[in-house]
Amino acid sequence: MNIPGNIITLIAGILLTLISLWYGQNHGLMPIEASQGAAEVDDLFNLMMTIATGLFLIVQGVLVYSIFKFRRQKGDKTDGPGIEGNVPLEIVWTAIPTVIVFILALYSFEVYNNLGGLDSETSRDFPQEEMQMAENQNQGKMVAFNPHQGHLSLGIGNANADIEVDVNGIQYAWIFTYPDSGVVSGELHVPINKQIKLNMKAGDVIHAFWVPQLRLKQDVLPGRESTFAFNANRIGDYPIICAELCGAYHGGMKTTLHVESEEDYQKWIQENTFASAQEKADTMAMMTQPMTKESRLEMHSHHLGVNSETLAQLHH
Ligand SMILES: [Cu+2]
């Protein structure tokens, strides 16, 4: 049977397209989507996965095919043909990736914009005196702290939040303060289908607030506020991870985002409002006290599964 080469190429092309399209939707690499906006990020990722699968199959397919097809025959001692290049081919394989990269760049810019990445809105009005003080102190110098400059915000619906939570990132914990009720917590609780906005600051070094299931990640910086807005649409517990190497115990800087029903959220707020006054005082004392290496380690020892005696032995 003799099938013409271009028919085989056509069939291979159709098969390759179908496999790429199928795998682009069924790779199963992403965690569940728990926010509005997560689907948009996944659409972009799926498109990239589709293109990557196609390219992988073309490159590897040609490679494997060539290994068998052009294998040296027994007893063949001749040289291969002297090929010097192929200008049309080189133009084509430069042009196609260029177009792909441009499409992906525009598309990802669009997604980033939709997620609020370009919102220039400053989240909070700093008191006039504070602004003036910063200005006076920094006259003629590089301004290190200016809340109205270079504000970082990410998340849909930054401007109209139902609930705002202050976030403080410190080595190696996240502290959440609910300004309305005064609750201070090491875990983040939010009600489902509500516009949440986090006003984030770091107490020491740069951290990054990342919740994979929300498909959002934002830097948390000392001396500059950044925001993180989301609307969680799926009840569940999701990991909050520090995504910026911030020190020796960076890997332990994790906590949990609890997305709850409105009732459960209100119940949690009520339970914690009572206890929070004392806790807040303790936390503030802990944070303002200069920490020794030992006390800092001890604070996290229960996460690491070691007690203070073990730590003392390890640390001279
Ligand atoms: Cu960190």
- Specify the pLDDT at position 37: 86
Distance 204 CA to ligand 1 centre (A): 9
Distance 302 CA to ligand 1 centre (A): 18
Distance 217 CA to ligand 1 centre (A): 13
Distance 200 CA to ligand 1 centre (A): 13
- Specify the pLDDT at position 297: 62
Distance 171 CA to ligand 1 centre (A): 6
Residue 290 has pLDDT above 50, yes or no: yes
Q: What residues flank ion ligand 1 with Cβ within 5 A?
A: 207, 242, 246, 253
pLDDT tens profile 113-160: 888 877 655 444 444 555 555 455 444 443 344 444 445 666 655 667
CA distances to 199, 204, 253 from 152, in Å: 10, 18, 22
* Three-state secondary structure of the chain: CCCCHHHHHHHHHHHHHHHHHHHHHHCCCCCCCCECCHHHHHHHHHHHHHHHHHHHHHHHHHHHHHHHHCCCCCCCCCCCCCCCCCHHHHHHHHHHHHHHHHHHHHHHHHHHHHCCCCCCCCCCCCCHHHHHHHHHHCCCCCCCCCCCCCCEEEECCCCCCCEEEEEEEECCEEEEEECCCCEEECCEEEECCCEEEEEEEECCCCEEEEEHHHCEEEEEEECECEEEEEEECCCEEEEEEECCCCCCCHHHCEEEEEEECHHHHHHHHHHHHHHHHHHHHHHHHHHHCCCCHHHHHHHHHHHHCCCHHHHHHHCC
Distance 126 CA to ligand 1 centre (A): 26
Domain residue spans in the chain?
Answer: 5-66+94-114, 150-289
Distance 93 CA to ligand 1 centre (A): 43
Distance 207 CA to ligand 1 centre (A): 4
Please indicate whether residue 25 or residue 2 has the higher confidence score (pLDDT). 25
Average of per-residue pLDDT across 88-110? 95
Distance 6 CA to ligand 1 centre (A): 56
Distance 239 CA to ligand 1 centre (A): 14
Distance 254 CA to ligand 1 centre (A): 9
Average of per-residue pLDDT across 206-220? 93
Residue 289 has pLDDT above 80, yes or no: no
Residue 176 has pLDDT above 60, yes or no: yes
Q: Which CATH superfamily is domain 150-289 in?
A: Cupredoxins -  blue copper proteins (2.60.40.420)
Report the mean per-residue pLDDT for the chain.
Answer: 82
Distance 242 CA to ligand 1 centre (A): 5
Please indicate whether residue 292 or residue 160 has the higher confidence score (pLDDT). 160
Distance 164 CA to ligand 1 centre (A): 21
Distance 104 CA to ligand 1 centre (A): 30
Average of per-residue pLDDT across 155-171? 81
Residue 23 has pLDDT above 70, yes or no: yes
User: 275 falls in which pLDDT band (50, 70, 90)?
Assistant: low
Phi, psi values for residue 29, rounded to 5°: -90, -20
- Specify the pLDDT at position 181: 85
- In sequence order, which residues have a C-beta less than 8 Å from that of residue 286 and are 6 or more positions away? 299
Residue 56 has pLDDT above 80, yes or no: yes
End-to-end Cα spacing for the chain: 80
Please indicate whether residue 9 or residue 295 has the higher confidence score (pLDDT). 9
Distance 299 CA to ligand 1 centre (A): 15
User: 277 falls in which pLDDT band (50, 70, 90)?
Assistant: low
